[in-house]
Structure 1
Amino acid sequence: MPEKNRPLEQMLELSDDEALSAEHLDSQVQKAQEQLLQLKRQQEQIEKQKRELEELSRRQEELERGRAEMSDKLTRALVVLEREGYNAQNRAEQIRAARESFAQHLELIEAIDPRSWNPADLHKELSRALSTVDDARSDYTEQHSRLQAAGGTAGEAPLPDPAMNPYENGDGRSFAEWLQIGVALSLPLMIFGAVALAIFIWMASR
């Protein structure tokens, strides 16, 4: 009997070994799958970090290019604006000086009144008036040249050309010349009026 039972025991022992071997294999397969899954997760994490580093590098390069570009543009713009500011300040000063000068000359010219002149001082008054007009013309030409040299802004109304005289007619006579002619023509009337006034006063006093 003991000999008959030995093959059965051997079979039972073999079955146990086979069972242990299958469990071990399943365990190894499961462990391998877990390792593969872990490696896959690590790979995904590494790829994610790689993309983040590439994006970070791209943005850093973009920052450096942007800094260099704007630094160059702003530096050149400041130089241009500084020059433009100086030119604008210089032009504003010239405009202020021209306005003051033109206002003074205009006041002197508008104060010329040939009707108030003394006939005895006619030549003197006429010379003084012509000198006032000539001074205004000379200063106007000088200020006009300075403003033209300083340059103007877009849309700015230009000053009248000093070479153009709207008071000249076809024979080329200027306002000052016509003023002189007018005074000369009115001189006899002024003398006649003065004589008549003197006679009237003399007769009234008798």
Structure 2
Amino acid sequence: MAEKIRPVEQMLELSDDEAVSAEHLDSQVQKAQEQLVQLKRQQEQIEKQKRELEELSRRQEELENGRAEMTDKLTRALVVLEREAYSVQNRLEQIRLARESFAQHLELVEAIDPRSWNPSDLHKELSRALSTVDDARTEYGEQRSRLQATGATAGEAPLPDVTSDAYEAHNGRSFSQWFQIGVALTLPLIIFGAIALALFFWMASK
């Protein structure tokens, strides 16, 4: 431990034998300077620790703010994505049902072959075929409305309207209507031809 320095007044009252030598004073001054250097180093160390603590506190505050921010954003994003996922799943289900329905009705419509009909059952076959086409048109319109209600995504091609040119001919008449008109016009000729053919075979048999 450093020697305690006596007050100047006490030193002046000392006798010559007890007076502090010049060497002793130099030693005391040197010790005092060393103590000042040590105190300065301690002060610098304290300042360094203070800066480190302030930086640590700043980073902790940054962590808390960032954590709170991202917790809020991620929570809200999950809610939005849950809604989007439900909407997408609902639309995919509607698309699946529409696809199955369209495939079934397409198979039935393509199976219509007037050339294979029995002339004696023409009215029955025609009514059945028209019913098949009308059912397909009705189902198409209903499924199209459901798909539009679920909302189309960007870049998705819309389904054609039920009353588009693909289903109607000129003057606003549908294919089935024109077909009925054609049958009505040719039916008398068919009946007349059948009667004439029957008379021909009857006369030939005599």
Are residue 61 (structure 1) and residue 61 (structure 2) matched? yes
TM-score (norm 2): 0.81
Give the deviation of 1:198 after TM superposition. 6.6
Q: List per-residue Cα deviations over 1:78-119 (Å, max 9, x = no partner).
A: 111111111111111111110000001001100111111111
Q: Which has the higher contact order (CA 8 A, sep 6+)?
A: 1
> RMSD of aligned C-alpha atoms?
2.9
Answer with 184-193 or 76-85: which moved more. Answer: 184-193
Gaps of 5+ in 1: 1-13
Q: List per-residue Cα deviations over 1:143-164 (Å, max 9, x = no partner).
A: 1111111112211111112242
Rounded Cα–Cα distance in structure 1 between residues aligned with 2:204 and 2:79? 82
Give the deviation of 1:199 after TM superposition. 7.9
Q: List per-residue Cα deviations over 1:156-178 (Å, max 9, x = no partner).
A: 11111224243424411112112
Answer with 141-150 or 154-163: which moved more. Answer: 154-163
Correspondence 1:6-155 to 2 at 5 A: 20-155=20-155
Give the deviation of 1:201 after TM superposition. 8.2
Rounded Cα–Cα distance in structure 2 between residues aligned with 1:203 and 1:89? 72
Give the deviation of 1:200 after TM superposition. 8.8
Rounded Cα–Cα distance in structure 2 between residues aligned with 1:54 and 1:30? 36
Gaps of 5+ in 2: 1-15
Number of aligned residues: 192
* Residues 1:198 and 1:25: Cα distance change in structure 2 (over 3 Å): farther
Q: Is the 8 A contact 1:130 1:176 kept in 2?
A: yes
Rounded Cα–Cα distance in structure 1 between residues aligned with 2:63 and 2:205? 103
Which residue in 1 is equivalent to 2:11? none
Q: Is the 8 A contact 2:167 2:175 kept in 1?
A: yes
Q: Where does structure 1 differ by over 4 angstroms across 4 or more consecutive aligned residues?
A: 188-206
Give the deviation of 1:136 after TM superposition. 0.8
TM-score (norm 1): 0.81
Answer with 161-170 or 73-82: which moved more. Answer: 161-170
Q: Is the 8 A contact 1:119 1:187 kept in 2?
A: no
Q: Is the 8 A contact 2:169 2:175 kept in 1?
A: no
Equivalent residue letter for 1:21: S
Rounded Cα–Cα distance in structure 1 between residues aligned with 2:40 and 2:201? 131
Q: Is the 8 A contact 1:119 1:191 kept in 2?
A: no
Rounded Cα–Cα distance in structure 1 between residues aligned with 2:199 and 2:61? 104
Equivalent residue letter for 1:30: Q
Answer with 21-30 or 135-144: which moved more. Answer: 21-30
Q: Is the 8 A contact 1:167 1:175 kept in 2?
A: yes
Q: List per-residue Cα deviations over 1:16-51 (Å, max 9, x = no partner).
A: 988x52212211221111111111111111111111
Rounded Cα–Cα distance in structure 2 between residues aligned with 1:162 and 1:110? 18
Aligned-residue sequence identity (percent) comes to: 81
Which residue in 2 is equivalent to 1:7? none
